[in-house]
Amino acid sequence: MRQIPVLVFLAACNGKPGPSDPAAGETPTDPHPQTTPVTPTPLSSTGTLSEAPCPVITDLSSEQGALSLEQRIEVTLDGEDTVWATCTSPDDDQELHLVESTTAATSHELALRGLLGDTPYTCEVHAGCGGEPQSVDFTSGPVPKALPKFTVSRDPKAELSGAYTLFNSQGGGCGGADVYVAIADPEGKIRWAYDVGSDLVSDIDTYLIDANTIHMGGGWGLFDEGAPNRGVFRTMDLSGNVQIDRTTPDFGLGFNHHSEPLADGTFLSITGDYDSQNGRQWHGVGVEQWSPTDGVVWSWDSQALVDSGFIDPPPVWNDNEAYHANAVSFLTDSLGDAMWLSDFGMQQIWRIDRNTGELTHVFAAGGDFDLVDAQGNHLSDNEFPQVQHGVDYQDDRILLYDNGQQRGYTRVSEYQVDLGTLQAKLLWTWADDPHWYDPILGDADYLPNGDVLVAKGFSKCFSPFSNDTSEVLELVPPDKVVWRMKFPDGNDTMYRAQRYDGCDVFGNARYCSAVSDRIAVLESQADR
């Protein structure tokens, strides 16, 4: 789980560190930046207020933004000042949004995001120095019809980790239409949605970079060179303004399964590549670290493993000969700088030395590690991951979505790995029920409070069970589910999900108490 820098209401967001900075060369626009207090009107030498009138709002209007759940408010003043607005809904008394424009000017455009769909709102708009506010009413746009309506259940006594769930959704069964990235609140209501485009497969990976910037990548997971695209690599603001849009990687063939922003402003992506041996060629594994300013700054491909004799040509998969990696991470572990790469086709996780590009360790059945349970008892190779997805790392622990193709059921598993002793300990496993089996897709992420976010990526295209559906849930290890968001139909497919704090994105006091605090500060300044 990646946490973004807390750019909104910093003091009240528990001091959580953000692992990701904006891409190099870019200056993100914070939709709710913390306003510098307006300097009060100065006193004259007699101690009375000098005659500097507060600017008055002369024109006020609103219209739907480029994305349906955004509203743009246009404000004109008769003098230069900052402006701020609070927006509430008569249909939901917990809705309290704040949006600010912190540069003094006579014209302002406020971008209000994170709204409920098809909901009436009233916004009170204020000049920064005070004066009489003015109101504007509107009804928000609709949630896109292609997105499902979710059923949510939760433990009312449990405190969830974060508020907003970011995920991908693909409707229409096995086709490539209706591919969306969306953000849902704890009640499963869509607060933001973006149509990524058609003709993509369901392996879209997506992250917030900061409070106003999102990255998505993947979408070419079937290695179809006759497809109309090689996946997607797109970075944009939450109004849908694209900042980076790449149709193909600089290293590799296409964007597959995994693409994430790193803390130094670069992006780490699985891209696929060609491997060859004795005149035979197949799809291998390619990894690209790419900088918006410098291009490819590091790359790796699996040809080195072919040349060393570690791997031979793969079996045919989905009418392609391919090694199929689905997760990659840069780590600094006890042995130094490493890349950990999950190849679900081989059912292995590889540790690659980033300085040499050499394979140093294999975590898998028949690999380098002796597997024991939490009490130190030896376990069979059957307890290693099988066709794993969504691998996450924390210190010396590995968390993953274990699809269990040989085992016959799916589970979430956490291991502790000692690179010195080559011992791996299976700490715990969790299975939703004895019949839960998703042979492909899925994700598991560490959450800041110690819980685990699980994305049960289901698709009728790949599963023998026709009555399953995709779900996102919050798990208190090893076995307590405290929140569950269920897709209504097995034709709706998802791949991965991320969870973010209520202060990380949008300005809604419902999920971020700092918004209420900020409103109180603005009101007190206006009253002076």
Distance CA 20, CA 7 (A): 12
Cα dihedral 221→227→230→233 (10° resolution):
-90
Tell me which residue has tokens 């030498």: 45
Question: Tens of pLDDT along 401-425?
Answer: 999 989 989 999 999 999 999 999 9
pLDDT digits (tens, 9 = 90+) for 336-383: 999 999 998 899 999 999 999 999 999 999 999 999 999 999 999 999
Residues with Cβ within 8 Å of residue 279, at least 6 apart in sequence: none
Asked if 99 contacts 507 with a C-beta cutoff of 8 angstroms, the reply is yes
CB-facing half-sphere around the CA of 38: CA atoms within 13 A: 27
Cα 367 to the chain's mean position, in Å? 32
pTM equals: 0.89
Cα–Cα distances in Å, from 465 out to 47, 119, 231, 263, 490? 79, 37, 28, 40, 9
Q: What is the DSSP letter of 115?
A: P
Lowest-confidence segment of 30-44, 231-245, 412-426, 450-464 by average pLDDT: 30-44
Which tokens sit at 159?
A: 């405190």
CA dist., res. 53 & res. 79, Å (int) = 9
**Residue 284 to residue 271: CA distance in whole angstroms:** 9
Quote the CA–CA distance of 263 and 108 in Å, as a whole number. 32
Extents of the domains making up the chain: 31-142+507-527
Asked whether residue 3 carries a pLDDT value surpassing 70, the answer given is no
Rounded CA separation 332/353 (Å) = 10
Domain 31-142+507-527 has CATH 2.60.40.10: yes
191's tokens: 């607060």
CA pair distance 161, 110, nearest whole angstrom = 29
Q: What is the pLDDT of residue 306?
A: 95
Report, as an integer, the average pLDDT of 370-398: 96
412, 403 Cβ separation under 8 angstroms = no
Q: In the predicted model, what is the mean pLDDT of the chain?
A: 88
**How far, CA to CA in Å, does 321 sit from each of 6, 172, 317?**
44, 27, 6
Query: Rounded distance, CA 328 to CA 338, Å?
Result: 10
Question: Of 289, 245, 283, 291, nearest to 270 (Cα)?
Answer: 289
pLDDT number for residue 178: 80
pLDDT for position 491 = 81
pLDDT surpassing 60 at residue 474? yes
pLDDT of residue 298 exceeding 50: yes
Cβ atoms of 163 and 513 closer than 8 Å: no
pLDDT single digits (tens) 11-26: 333 333 333 344 444 4
Query: What is the rounded CA–CA span in Å between residue 258 and residue 269?
Result: 6
Contact 496, 457 (CB under 8 A): yes
Amino acid 35: pLDDT: 39
Closest CA to 119 of 99, 149, 89, 146: 89
